Amino acid sequence: MSELPEEVRSWIGEKRYELEGEFDVERGYVFTTCASVENGNPLFWDEKVANDLTDGFIAPPSMISVWFRPHYWAPDRVEQAQPLQVHFDLKDRLGLPEAVMTDNTIVFREPVRPGDRLRTHQVLRSVSEEKTTKLGTGRFWVIDVEYENQRGESVGTESYTGFGYRRKA
Amino acid sequence: MTQQSLTLDQVTVGDALPELAVDVDVTAVVLGAMASRDWRPMHHDKDFAVERNGTRHIFVNTPHNAAYFERYITDWTGPRGRLGRIRFRMKDSVFPGDRMVFHGQVKDVAKDETGCGWVDLTLELTVGEKTTTECTARVALPVSGDDNPWQRKGDRWRP
């Protein structure tokens, strides 16, 4: 069994890849998302209900990661880190060419509102010993993606469990 | 639109959520991918999905899947229901032509130390005989007609 490289060990608990969303949270995407699943929750459609219950319109909580995906094209784009960059760093540094996500948990805190500009960072929480599953031999890891608004309030955390592995020969 | 919402006293462990059936078509899959800014071709280009991913068609992406679960939960709770936590595991893909059926059951009903009402749910998405996604969720419900979980902040919100 190989030891976990010291560099990877040093990533555990470290705040990495701070990013700001490319654009303000906006209702156009909220409508498209609601339309795609026929979500008629009045919090997203009815101003009176939104004012009464949530002090104005909010975005559906499950859209939390939407606000960080880069668009298909942008002028003068340079490659930037992705919300799960730590996952790809681990695959690369540990020499594990394949990976799957086995679990996804999202915890929701302050509501996300149109006009918010969100920030995110990633924290590697743990890396397992080497394990062998039906997919191959590799390691499990847990990465938290933290999201906060422009006031520094947490709006949520996504926690991913990944398994990076080498296929059986 | 209605503001009608469930309150905690109306919910009992073992209650089943009403099933929701959704027929998926190509437009819905593409709309969900575009709404979540997921431009990867396996969610809009059938040739790519078949030839490169080895699937039979384009398929529903993860954020779209999450959005369906959110809708399923809040259709049941009404707008005062506030999602605190959701955990899901996608076991298989959903394709155009599939009929998705959402199922759910109440696993726990409780108040926390701050007086917030919580319901724990186990949920499942099936296509035919197959479970394509397993999910658990924790959702806050008002404890009375004038309670509103959305007004909770900081230490009074413990999802």
| pLDDT tens-digit series, residues B39-78 | 989 999 999 999 988 899 999 998 999 999 999 999 999 9
Q: What is the DSSP string of A75-113?
A: TT------TTHHHHHHHHHHT--EEEEEEEEEEE-SPP-
Q: Which residues contact A4 (CB under 8 A, 6 or more apart)?
A: A127, A139
Rg, chain B, Cα only: 18
Please tell me whether the interface predicted TM-score (ipTM) of this complex is above 0.90: yes
Which residues sit opposite A82 in a β-bridge? none
Question: Could you tell me the two tokens for B136?
Answer: 């658990």
- B1 occurs within a structural domain: no
How far apart are alpha carbons A85 and A69 in whole angstroms? 12
- A1 occurs within a structural domain: no
How far apart are alpha carbons B52 and B69 in whole angstroms? 28
Q: Which of B63, B80, B72 is nearest to B2 (CA)?
A: B80
Chain B residue with CA closest to A47: the answer is: B1
- A103 occurs within a structural domain: yes
In angstroms, what separates the C-alpha of A28 from chain B's closest C-alpha? 9
> What's the pLDDT score for residue B91?
87
Residues spanned by the domain of B33: 8-156
Q: Give me the half-sphere count of Cα atoms (radius 13 Å) on the Cβ side of residue A122.
A: 22
Instruction: Work out the average pLDDT over B95-119.
Output: 98
Between B153 and A1, whose confidence is greater?
A: B153
Provide the CATH number for the domain around residue A70: 3.10.129.10
Provide the CATH number for the domain around residue B148: 3.10.129.10
- B2 occurs within a structural domain: no
In angstroms, what separates the C-alpha of B157 from chain A's closest C-alpha? 7
Question: Could you tell me the two tokens for A126?
Answer: 């743990």
Residues A103 and A126 sit within 8 Å (Cβ to Cβ): no
Q: Specify the number of domains making up chain A.
A: 1
Q: Specify the number of domains making up chain B.
A: 1
How far apart are alpha carbons A145 and B158 in whole angstroms? 18
Residues spanned by the domain of A106: 6-167
How far apart are alpha carbons A34 and A15 in whole angstroms? 33
Would you give the DSSP letter of residue A4?
P
Q: What does the pLDDT look like over A82-134, one tens digit per residue?
A: 668 999 999 999 999 988 888 889 999 999 999 999 999 999 999 999 999 98
How far apart are alpha carbons B131 and B107 in whole angstroms? 19
- B36 occurs within a structural domain: yes
Q: Does A80 score more than 80 pLDDT?
A: no
Cross-chain CB nearest to A49 (options B3, B70, B89):
B3
**Which residues on chain B are in Cβ contact (under 8 Å) with A36?**
28, 31-32, 35, 64, 67
Q: What does the pLDDT look like over B94-106, one tens digit per residue?
A: 999 999 999 999 9
Cross-chain CB nearest to B159 (options A37, A65, A108):
A108
Cα B71–Cα B72–Cα B75 angle in degrees, nearest 5: 75
Q: What percent of chain A has pLDDT over 90?
A: 78
- B112 occurs within a structural domain: yes
